Amino acid sequence: MKKENPLKKKLPDTAKETYSFFADVYDVVRQIPKGRVTSYGAIAKYLGTGSSARMVGWAMNAAHVATPKVPAHRVVNRNGMLSGKMHFASPTQMEELLKKEKVLVENDIITEFEKLFWDPAVELDL
DNA sequence: GCATTGACGAAGG
DNA sequence: CCCTTCGCCAATG
């Protein structure tokens, strides 16, 4: 069952399969509990690592138009750094959102990232 | 159609 | 331990 896709307006035939990847990424990110965070690599791994973490980040770029809105602010790199904060409406938006969820951010790095880390491959237990 | 880039990550020096 | 290089895969120039 497909839902309305954010990029369906473009939807190249070559990317048809790739599209499932997008949907999966969005679905996983939406399942991230409040106050928790995960990494691009973790998501990629959960999806089978066959796609590489970069594709996750790339998918996030399109997540801005995904419905419902994907909490992309809960996704950071393996370093726990807010690498994509500059892609939000405001460079501080990501940080603000995280702090609202009791996620402390210091110097663009999530404090105790290891403790707040939410691994879909573990939590969702495949 | 080839070259560069990118919200990443792991490995090598 | 810090910095550089390679790999991934799709998009964009």
Which residues of chain A between 45 and 74 are close to nucleic strand B, CB under 7 A?
A: 52-58, 60-61, 63-64, 72-73
Query: Residue A40 and residue A74: Cα distance in Å, rounded?
Result: 10
Query: Residue A64 and residue A60: Cα distance in Å, rounded?
Result: 7
Nucleotides of C under 7 A from a protein CB: 7-12
Q: What is the pLDDT of residue A6?
A: 39
| pLDDT (tens digit per residue) in A63-90 | 998 888 999 999 999 999 999 999 999 9
Mean residue pLDDT of chain A comes to: 85
Q: CA(A50)–C1'(B11) in Å?
A: 18
| pLDDT (tens digit per residue) in A29-68 | 999 999 999 999 999 999 887 778 999 999 999 999 888 8
Whether CB of A75 is under 7 Å from strand B: the answer is yes
Query: Residue A71 and residue A26: Cα distance in Å, rounded?
Result: 9
Q: How confident is the model at residue A104 (pLDDT cuts 50, 70, 90)?
A: very high
Q: CA(A103)–C1'(C10) in Å?
A: 32
